[in-house]
Structure 1
Amino acid sequence: MSKVPNFFSLKAMNKSHKEISMADFENKVILVVNVASKCGFTKQYDGLEKLYKDYKDRGFVVLGFPCNQFGGQEPGTEEEIESFCQLNFGVTFPLMAKIDVNGDKEDPVYTFLKAQKAGLLGMTRIKWNFEKFLIGKDGLVHKRYSSIATPESIAVDVENLLKA
């Protein structure tokens, strides 16, 4: 298990490379996703944005963490990524700075997430773009979803955590 008590004790860089505290999202349900613009799963941006719009007024947020570790499918700068997401998918949820989700330069947010909830067969490493972690208002990871899990399939879990 991670030594970090909960998600809200972490910090990350936003798309402008300014450090923000995850405590800014305290008392919210959060879906953290490692995203990429040139991936077969990129169309999930539509579903992520819909999920965000459907539940944001009830205390839900999607945090997109661009990552270029899987097939070089997120080669752009933060500005290019944001422009692509807005133009093609109307994304309004927060996009963070581009990070690594595995390896020596792994972002501490992902170190925490993976320690909280292993994937298929107990694997902790992120296997591909668009893996998702659902964090409750308590700052703990409640569920981890593979890349093939659609945002629409997660809606019921979001709903349940918002009611909790």
Structure 2
Amino acid sequence: MGDTTTTTALRDIPFTTADGSTRTLAADADKVLLIVNVASKCGLTPQYEQLEHLQRTYGERGFSVLGFPCNQFMGQEPGSMEDILDFCSSTYGVTFPVFEKIKVNGRDAAPLYKALKEAPDPEGMRGRIHWNFEKFILTPDGTVHRFRPQTKPDDPAIVAVIEQNLPG
């Protein structure tokens, strides 16, 4: 799972927002974060609905979904950022932040995802992102929990991690 040194470094990795500015996870150190690589034209795209439900259910209690569009899996996120943001809001009513399109695997993978891929899934496997909608939960204590794409956002295991780690 996670360790404090890795988590501190993870929280300090810069990434780009949809409007082109730079931020890190440091400002969200007290929140439970669900970080997910998303795509608009994937068989798993309906998971946006469950992600948004989690955001609306827990958002005011110290939780946030962070979406990172990725076009590495069969070109399933081909649009511009404007297209992606429009799709998210008009199709699924997304209110959680969606960031700049990134790569999650390979030499050009985003630094945040290079670090996240070190976290093991429930079977102890780490490494490459398998597909769109791979989920990472970063808790305030620095632990990273990993869930593979087929695990739905409202799966009891994900909900349990969120609820057990909400602040206060």
User: Do the structures match in fold with TM over 0.5?
Assistant: yes
Q: Structure 1 residue 72: deviation in Å?
A: 0.1
Does 2:79 align with 1:76? yes
Corresponding residue to 2:160 among 122, 137, 156: 156
Distance 1:85 1:44 in 2: 11
- CA distance 1:108–1:118, change in 2 (3 Å): farther
Does 2:98 align with 1:95? yes
Counterpart of 2:85 in structure 1: which amino acid?
E
Any idea what SS the aligned residue of 1:45 has? helix
Other-structure match for 1:64: 67
Q: Structure 1 residue 64: deviation in Å?
A: 0.2
Does 2:48 align with 1:48? no
Corresponding residue to 2:112 among 100, 106, 109: 109
Contact 1:118 1:124 in 2 (8 A): no
The aligned length equals: 163
Distance 2:147 2:82 in 1: 27
Contact 2:119 2:146 in 1 (8 A): no
Contact 1:28 1:59 in 2 (8 A): yes
Contact 1:133 1:145 in 2 (8 A): yes
Corresponding residue to 1:129 among 127, 132, 136: 132
Distance 1:73 1:15 in 2: 18
Q: 5+ residue gaps in structure 2?
A: none
Give the CA RMSD over aligned residues: 1.9
- For normalisation by structure 2, the TM-score amounts to 0.90
Distance 2:7 2:60 in 1: 27
Other-structure match for 2:149: 147
Q: 5+ residue gaps in structure 1?
A: none
- CA distance 1:119–1:111, change in 2 (3 Å): farther
Contact 2:38 2:67 in 1 (8 A): yes
Contact 1:8 1:139 in 2 (8 A): no
Distance 1:8 1:89 in 2: 28
Distance 1:145 1:21 in 2: 22
Counterpart of 2:105 in structure 1: which amino acid?
N
